[in-house]
Amino acid sequence: MQRDDIHGRRAPRWAETLLLRRYGRTLYGEPRYRLVWAPARRERSGGVWTDWDGGTVLRRVAAMRWVQKYPGEQCWLIERWLPASSYGTPERWYAPVSAGGTKLSELEGGICACGDYPQFGDYEDIGARMHWYPTERHLIAAIGAVEQGREQAPSTALGRAWRRTYRAQQEQEQRDREFDQAADELFDDAAPAFGGAPMIGFGGSHRPALVEMAERAGIRQHPL
């Protein structure tokens, strides 16, 4: 299939050949990864557009137009192809914005704010920014990090949720161990002589040092 989302400067031929040879094609014969000059990347956007002539408004029209996908960026970046399923179902896509879809109100012509449903999938940024002319090493390193992350990620939403929960539990247990160790060291340093046995001396009575140290540490309930 032919896309019309690159308007202007294109990636060098060697980069296209490298990415295609190394990472293969999609179901539709397109490269799985592609190098893109950010200012040249376009996407379809729907809404009410105001056309100006100097300081005069010529018209306001509800329409679908090509806009820059990465406005203001001047760099090379890598995009990865995602299947249509990544964007939900067509029914959800064409539902009104108020119902969680992308379709604007009837007043605005019922146009989808994000363009037509990407039935053949679409390309999305993987987060690699190159403000220099990229080399083969740069491309392979950036995509390698993405591929490695995909291989290590659980295959289901439930698996991902389980992994996040497990990691949070491990982090909490580590914090608890560190607190217990710090508290033990704190109390050992503050322990009074003779195991805290009562002593008679001059100067009146004093609260046990352990009690004061515990309260300083924020421990309000203790058997001392």
In a domain, 1, yes or no: no
pLDDT at 200 over 50: no
Confidence of residue 186 (pLDDT cuts 50, 70, 90): confident
For residue range 66-92, list pLDDT tens digits in order: 999 999 999 999 999 999 999 999 999
HSE (side-chain half, CA atoms, 13 Å) at 52: 3
Q: What are phi and psi of 182, to 5 degrees?
A: -65, -40
pLDDT at 192: 56
| Stretch 118-132: mean pLDDT | 93
Residue-number span of the structural domain to which 60 is assigned: 13-153
Same domain, 146 and 72: yes
Same domain, 133 and 171: no
Same domain, 78 and 166: no
Same domain, 139 and 114: yes
Same domain, 180 and 96: no
Same domain, 88 and 70: yes
For residue range 15-30, list pLDDT tens digits in order: 999 999 999 999 999 9
In a domain, 223, yes or no: no
Residue 81 has a CB neighbour count (10 Å cut-off) of 20
In a domain, 222, yes or no: no
Confidence of residue 146 (pLDDT cuts 50, 70, 90): confident
| Stretch 171-192: mean pLDDT | 69
Same domain, 116 and 171: no
Same domain, 89 and 131: yes
| Stretch 114-139: mean pLDDT | 92
The residue among 195 and 44 whose pLDDT is bigger is 44
In a domain, 78, yes or no: yes
pLDDT at 14: 96
In a domain, 55, yes or no: yes
Same domain, 138 and 170: no
Same domain, 32 and 63: yes
On average, the pLDDT of the chain sits at 79
Tokens 């956007």 found at: 45
In a domain, 6, yes or no: no
The residue among 206 and 145 whose pLDDT is bigger is 145
pLDDT at 181: 79
Number of domains in the chain: 2
The residue among 130 and 184 whose pLDDT is bigger is 130
pLDDT at 21: 95
Measured over the CA atoms of residue 194, residue 198, residue 201 and residue 202, the dihedral's sign is positive
In a domain, 177, yes or no: yes
pLDDT at 199: 42
Task: For residue 84, give the nearest of 124, 114, 119 by alpha carbon.
Answer: 119
Most confident of 113-127, 140-154, 198-212: 113-127
Same domain, 142 and 173: no
In a domain, 27, yes or no: yes
Same domain, 185 and 132: no
Contact 127, 80 (CB under 8 A): no
What predicted TM-score, i.e. pTM, was given to this entire model? 0.64
| Stretch 129-138: mean pLDDT | 92
